[in-house]
Structure 1
Amino acid sequence: MKLYYFPPSPQTRKAHAVAIHLELPLELQLIDLQKGEQHTPEYLKLNPTGRTPVLQDGDFILWESTAIMQYLASQVSNSLWPEDMKSRANIVRWQSWELAHWNRGCQPLQYENFIKQLSQLGDPDPQAVQRATEIFHKEATVLNTYLADRKFLVNDTLTLADFSVASSLTYAVPGRFPLDDYPHIRRWYAQIEELPAWQKTAPKG
């Protein structure tokens, strides 16, 4: 299998980390988003959205990180993607929440407080930061409460749900995410940061 990836991307990170955790061999092909390589005709044939990651398994092409995570975890028997339907539904629930709700607060804070400065795109937009902060607090309250008496998100063991939700916190420090009032999130994420797969996929620099 071959993974077209951009290491700094949280979406790339969660798929790549799953492969490393499960010790699945992958050929890695860098797609440098900063150089616009995602817009080449060759890459757009693989993924018409021009985003990373993309997984190629023979003639099968798969894009969207959540789908890639599930496909990778289906290659071998493991606890990240257990066989029973209720566990899988619960995992998909959290993966869906991450994409539809959690990321709506995390991504703008990451962009305004970190990416803009990194890319010399100007100062943060105060209104955008305020809107994102309000969303972040609303969703962080849900997650923090849920994790109050749980070690992980599903079945009290590490699953794809944890990789998905944790990926949005990749740039929590430079993105100035307001995590001080959410001790259960911080405790849970500290566990994720200890995983060798998470450390190996941490952005460089």
Structure 2
Amino acid sequence: MKLYYHPASTSCRPPMLFAAEANIPLEYELVDIFTGEQYKPAFESVNPNHLVPVLEDGDFRLTEASAILKYLADKIDSPQYPKDLKERARVNERMDWFNTQLNREFNYGFLYPQIFGFLKRSSPEVQDATVQWGKERSQKWLKVMNDHILGPGNNYVCGDRITIADYLGAAMLGVGEITGCKFSDYPNVCAWLGRMKALSSWSKVHEAITGYAQSIKDQPMVTV
């Protein structure tokens, strides 16, 4: 199987981390999203959405990190994507929540406009309003995650066992550290993220984004 990826892509890191932890052999093909390689005809024929990741398994191609995680987990019959109907539904629910709630407003509405120049708004006033709105919305979702999804006693987002939902969410939330987010108001979130960062493959998978963080560490950032 081949994964088209870029190591700085938040969407690529969940399947990369899961594959590394589960010892799934993947061929990695770099798509340089910072030079626009994703818009060139060669990659457009792979994914007309012009996005990574893309998983290629023989003549079968699959896009979207959430779908790729589920496919990989089923491919190896991983208990981290349980077969029980209700347990699997809970994992799917959490993954949808990360994609439609946290990712939209924490990453695209709050973090990315600060750390990626091509996503900064057209004027300081619009930029400030965007970041402030994203911060307020992110705080709402972080409170939901802290108090209800994790809450007292849950080590992971679906209970006491790690699932593929944790891989997806940890990559999305971990980007916050680039801006200096400590999540100190959300102790359950902090503890959960610490458990995910303790995975043996975390540092290797995240080294590119960690390096990028160092390159912008002196820029003023709004945090939560």
TM-score > 0.5 by shorter chain: yes
> Per-residue displacement from partner, 1:126-183 (whole Å, max 9, x unpaired)?
1011110111011011000021221111141010111111111232122344722111
Change (3 A) 1:203 1:109: farther
Where does the alignment leave 5 or more consecutive residues of structure 2 unmatched? 212-224
Partner residue, 1:186: 190
Tell me the TM-score normalised to structure 1 length. 0.92
- Count residues in correspondence: 204
Q: Cα distance, 1:17 vs. partner? A: 0.8
CA RMSD of aligned residues (A): 2.0
Mapped to 1, the partners of 2:174 and 2:156 lie a distance apart of 17
Could you tell me which of 200, 203, 216 is aligned with 1:199?
A: 203
Q: How does 1:11-30 map to 2 (within 5 A)?
A: 11-30=11-30
Mapped to 1, the partners of 2:180 and 2:98 lie a distance apart of 19
Partner residue, 1:165: 169
Partner residue, 1:53: 53
Where does the alignment leave 5 or more consecutive residues of structure 1 unmatched? none
Partner residue, 2:217: none
Which runs of structure 1 show a deviation greater than 6 angstroms over 4 or more consecutive aligned residues? 121-124
Q: How does 1:1-205 map to 2 (within 5 A)?
A: 1-107=1-107, 108-116=109-117, 125-146=127-148, 147-149=150-152, 150-177=154-181, 179-204=183-208, 205=211
Mapped to 2, the partners of 1:23 and 1:45 lie a distance apart of 29
> Per-residue displacement from partner, 1:94-138 (whole Å, max 9, x unpaired)?
10001110112221322122223999x997911011110111011
Tell me the TM-score normalised to structure 2 length. 0.85
